Structure 1
Amino acid sequence: MKQLDARSVATVAAGGAAGAVARHLLVGAAGAHGWAATLAVNVVGAFLLGLLLERLARGGRDTGRRRRVRLLLGTGALGGFTTYSGIAVEVLARLDAGQWAGAGAYGLGTVLAGLVACGAGVVVGARRAAR
């Protein structure tokens, strides 16, 4: 495990704060359709994370500027932007309302959509790097 340093921690914290605020604003703006905003945030975030990590990996070792970008945008901003806890709360709300099928579809659908989006991001990143 790499040793943590204050600069890396600050970089992740800054990115995480920005990502969490962006998610809060988007989900808040959705009002009663907050579940759809959470789904969109997670799918878009998964795509962007796949794209970012693929591009960084093809650029060389995880050191220097690439490492700082990964910490700021990947671990920080996209980590703060996406939310597993939001999915869990929304699934529980559906279960409490007796919407068992909806809860299962939303939970499983979100995870599957995130996997597909992340894979698509990796493919796009690989194709762009090959140019």
Structure 2
Amino acid sequence: MNWLLVVAGAVIGAPLRYLTDRAVQSRHDSVFPWGTFVVNVVGCAVLGLLAGAAAAGAAGSHLQLLLGTGLCGALTTYSTFSYETLRLAETGAGLYAAVNVVGSVGAGLGAAFVGVATAEAVWA
């Protein structure tokens, strides 16, 4: 049963990642990987909200598997982030590569903290 929850979340997360990435990237005329940046930050916020809800007892293990492991696991992408950062550095866009690393980690952590804080405010 647990693996079905993970699969169901991934069935939503993977196409959502692809469609969001394409929609965001098509609106920016830049080598910066905005699409990947957005899906990763959104995934961090969702996971933070879910972690806060779980800590408050408002989200059980099934919801954690569905949304945390399945949806967020398929929505976010460390491998694409790494690849795009490497490509930026290799093509001479070192500043964009550095901004991608610092911005992605900072925004991702910030989004996770906001998600946890939001959950604590709602379920405390």
TM-score (norm 2): 0.88
Q: Percent same amino acid among aligned pairs?
A: 38
Give CA deviations for 1:73-119 in whole Å, capped at 9, x if unaligned. Answer: 11110111111112112101111211112111111210111001101
- The alpha carbon displacement at 1:32 in A equals 7.2
1:44 matches 2:42: yes
Residue 89 of structure 2 corresponds to which residue in structure 1? Answer: 95
Separation in structure 1 between the aligned mates of residue 22 and residue 37 of structure 2, nearest angstrom? 13
Separation in structure 2 between the aligned mates of residue 78 and residue 89 of structure 1, nearest angstrom? 19
Give CA deviations for 1:48-73 in whole Å, capped at 9, x if unaligned. Answer: 1101111122117xxxx711110001
Structure 2 unaligned spans of 5+: none
- Tell me which of 22, 26, 29 is aligned to 1:31: 26
1:14 matches 2:12: no
Residue 71 of structure 2 corresponds to which residue in structure 1? Answer: 77
Separation in structure 1 between the aligned mates of residue 75 and residue 106 of structure 2, nearest angstrom? 18
**What RMSD over aligned residues (CA atoms) do the two structures have, in Å?**
1.7
Residue 124 of structure 1 corresponds to which residue in structure 2? Answer: 118
8 Å CA contact 2:36, 2:81 repeated in 1: yes
8 Å CA contact 2:21, 2:38 repeated in 1: no
Look at both structures and tell me which one has the larger radius of gyration over its CA atoms. Answer: 1
Residue 54 of structure 1 corresponds to which residue in structure 2? Answer: 52
Structure 1 unaligned spans of 5+: 1-6
Q: Would you tell me which structure has more helix in proportion to its own residues?
A: 1
- How many residues get paired? 120
